[in-house]
Chain A
Amino acid sequence: VNCGIAGCGVYLPLYRIKSSDVAKAWGGDLKSSYEKTVQCYDEDALTMGVEASLNALKNARFDGEELDVVYFATMSSPYIEKQCSSTLSVSLGCKDSVRSSDFNGSPRTCSSAMLGCFDAIRSSSARSALVVASDRLVARPGEPMEQLLGSGAAAFVLTSDETRLIARIEGSASYSTEFTDRWRSETESFPRSEIERFGRDYGYTRHVTMAVKRLLESRKLSPKDYSQAVFTEFDPRRPSAIAKSVGFSEDQISSGSLSQSTGDTGAASMFLSLSAALEKAKPGDRILAASYGDGGSDALDFTVTNGIQGKPSGEVEKYLKSKKMVDYQTHLRLNKVFDLLR
């Protein structure tokens, strides 16, 4: 069964803070123009996920009742016990026979959930599915991660109905090992991370490179066959390291690179970047998307179809431009950091 993406939708919170303002609050002097998103105090991974999903349904011209599967991917679920996907599916107007589930615990969870949807569609147990990745990431005040952790959400409507596709999934490859570079135990409010270079070189770069190379080998393709490549981004420099080790040019990775404006959006990162890439795509383009989360990477191969013509675009750009800058104290208040410190 051929299947793929019928449409995507994104959501970024209104508020932003300059990474240099976060550094300044702790006596640092950061020379960068990076910004990160800050969610409103009444937002969480679920509310942002609902906004992105409603945008995706509208852009894909789908109704919630057409969905057989709804998967929610996050590592910042408002609950440890209780699933968000059931609330999500009701909010989208799905029928009560919908199969809904949460995927938790890693920024890689976005591709796990998406591949789960594709498997359900390929095996004909579903015709159409919605997968949304959403995260609100909050760091312990004063930690270096505080300059980067942001919030955002992105959703895809997936289907086997070829007449409604904008991109077809051609294949995927995974690479999994035991590796820990960022974690949060059940008793902790904030994530911790290992010395940066170890995590970057042996975690991120090695895993994503292996998954991407495996995909290229199995598809008998080379980096130059792709018009765009997007990755889970922890910071704006990471994708360049992958591009270098696999052989993509800066041009191929530039349109999907968003973290200089959004910060690290966790599970939503690769989905946001894939949405940005699709908005710039033409029929026939190949797009490679690769996720990463401690010890695992999934690489996905997409071909853009003629269906992309006439589909809404420019949503990512609109959300990036629609913003209100806040200072460090406001950022602490909106992030509800004082509740988390208790």
Chain B
Amino acid sequence: MSSALPEFWRFSEELLELVGGKCKNCGKINFPQRRICTFCGAQDNFEKVRISRRGKVHTYVVAHALPSGVEAPTPLAVVDTDDGARLVGFVTECEPNEIKWEMPVEVVLRKVGEQDGRVNYGFKFRPIRFSRDVGK
């Protein structure tokens, strides 16, 4: 049986740290990191950056058939972060009728699935709970 373990290990920078590759040629962020820039085609010319934990919903679909470990129905969204990276993931703590285009969200670490008693961690989006400018 195939295991997702090597896959989760390979992408741990993206899944746990939110590290993307910023193209030194065009300045855009590729997420996940890759060798050829999706935007300008430059090769092996990236700088690792930790991407913003704030963004807005670009588009979404409400998913009803999901792998074990994810409750259905759950919105699955494409989110553009404040620094221009584009991420795909589940939206947690959000009812299917609450999600909207352009809705501000924050990126949080959650359990994204379980396999053979092992927990897979990754990012999900969450409607912003309160202003982060604490104490101001």
Select the stretch in A196-204, A231-239, A294-302, A309-317 that faces chain B.
A309-317
**Contacts A14-B93, A78-B119: A42 and B130 contacting too (C-beta < 8 A)?**
no
Question: Does A125 make an interface contact (CB < 8 A)?
Answer: no
Select the stretch in B25-33, B54-62, B80-88, B108-116 that faces chain A.
B108-116
Task: Assess whether A90 is in contact with B17, with CB atoms less than 8 Å apart.
Answer: yes
Contacts of B108 in A (CB 8 A): 47, 51
Task: Assess whether A314 is in contact with B111, with CB atoms less than 8 Å apart.
Answer: no
**Contacts A44-B119, A78-B119, A93-B17: A50 and B109 contacting too (C-beta < 8 A)?**
yes
How far, in whole Å, are A40 and B16 apart by their CA atoms in the complex?
A: 19
How far, in whole Å, are A51 and B71 apart by their CA atoms in the complex?
A: 22
The interface size of chain A toward B, counting residues with CB under 8 Å, comes to 28
Question: Does A318 make an interface contact (CB < 8 A)?
Answer: yes
How far, in whole Å, are A58 and B54 apart by their CA atoms in the complex?
A: 14
Question: Does A2 make an interface contact (CB < 8 A)?
Answer: no
- Which chain A residue shows the least CB distance to B117? A79
Task: Assess whether A322 is in contact with B130, with CB atoms less than 8 Å apart.
Answer: yes
Give a binary string over A85-112; 1 marks a CB under 8 Å from any B CB, 0 the rest.
Answer: 0010011010000000000000000000
Task: Assess whether A42 is in contact with B135, with CB atoms less than 8 Å apart.
Answer: no
Contacts of A87 in B (CB 8 A): 16, 121
Question: Does A41 make an interface contact (CB < 8 A)?
Answer: yes
How far, in whole Å, are A180 and B109 apart by their CA atoms in the complex?
A: 35
Task: Assess whether A14 is in contact with B17, with CB atoms less than 8 Å apart.
Answer: no
Contacts of B69 in A (CB 8 A): 42
Task: Assess whether B111 is in contact with A42, with CB atoms less than 8 Å apart.
Answer: yes
- Which chain B residue shows the least CB distance to A14? B93
How far, in whole Å, are A148 and B123 apart by their CA atoms in the complex?
A: 30
Contacts of A78 in B (CB 8 A): 119
Task: Assess whether A43 is in contact with B50, with CB atoms less than 8 Å apart.
Answer: no
Question: Does A46 make an interface contact (CB < 8 A)?
Answer: yes
Question: Does B65 make an interface contact (CB < 8 A)?
Answer: no
Contacts of A312 in B (CB 8 A): 134-136
The interface size of chain B toward A, counting residues with CB under 8 Å, comes to 24
Task: Assess whether B110 is in contact with A91, with CB atoms less than 8 Å apart.
Answer: no
Task: Assess whether B119 is in contact with A93, with CB atoms less than 8 Å apart.
Answer: no
Q: How far is the CB of A117 from chain B (nearest CB, A)?
A: 22
How far, in whole Å, are A47 and B12 apart by their CA atoms in the complex?
A: 15
Contacts of B119 in A (CB 8 A): 44, 46, 78-79
Q: Which of B69, B132, B134 has the most CB of A within 10 A?
A: B134
Q: How far is the CB of B28 from chain A (nearest CB, A)?
A: 22
Task: Assess whether A322 is in contact with B129, with CB atoms less than 8 Å apart.
Answer: yes
Taking CB atoms and an 8 Å cut-off, the chain A residues in 209-240 that contact chain B are none
Question: Does B45 make an interface contact (CB < 8 A)?
Answer: no
Q: How far is the CB of A73 from chain B (nearest CB, A)?
A: 18
Question: Does A59 make an interface contact (CB < 8 A)?
Answer: yes
Contacts of B129 in A (CB 8 A): 14, 322
Task: Assess whether A93 is in contact with B50, with CB atoms less than 8 Å apart.
Answer: yes
- Which chain B residue shows the least CB distance to A44? B111
- Which chain A residue shows the least CB distance to B124? A42
Task: Assess whether A91 is in contact with B16, with CB atoms less than 8 Å apart.
Answer: yes
How far, in whole Å, are A78 and B124 apart by their CA atoms in the complex?
A: 19
How far, in whole Å, are A44 and B134 apart by their CA atoms in the complex?
A: 25
Task: Assess whether A90 is in contact with B93, with CB atoms less than 8 Å apart.
Answer: no
Task: Assess whether A313 is in contact with B134, with CB atoms less than 8 Å apart.
Answer: yes
Give a binary string over A32-74; 1 marks a CB under 8 Å from any B CB, 0 the rest.
Answer: 0000000011111011001100100011000000000000000
- Which chain B residue shows the least CB distance to A279? B135
- Which chain B residue shows the least CB distance to A310? B135
Give a binary string over B96-120; 1 marks a CB under 8 Å from any A CB, 0 the rest.
Answer: 0000000000001111100000010
Contacts of B112 in A (CB 8 A): 42
**Contacts A14-B129, A47-B110: A40 and B121 contacting too (C-beta < 8 A)?**
no
Ranked nearest first, the 4 interchain pairs of A and B with the lowest CB-CB distance are A312-B135, A42-B110, A312-B134, A91-B16
Interchain residue pairs with CB less than 8 A apart (17): A14-B93, A42-B69, A43-B111, A44-B119, A46-B121, A47-B109, A51-B108, A51-B109, A79-B119, A91-B16, A91-B17, A91-B121, A93-B17, A93-B50, A312-B134, A312-B136, A315-B135
Query: Which residues on A are within 8 Å of B, measured CB to CB?
Result: 14, 40-44, 46-47, 50-51, 54, 58-59, 78-79, 87, 90-91, 93, 311-315, 318, 321-322, 324
Further 8 A-B residue pairs, CB within 8 A, beyond A51-B109, A93-B17: A41-B71, A42-B111, A44-B111, A47-B109, A51-B108, A91-B17, A312-B135, A315-B134
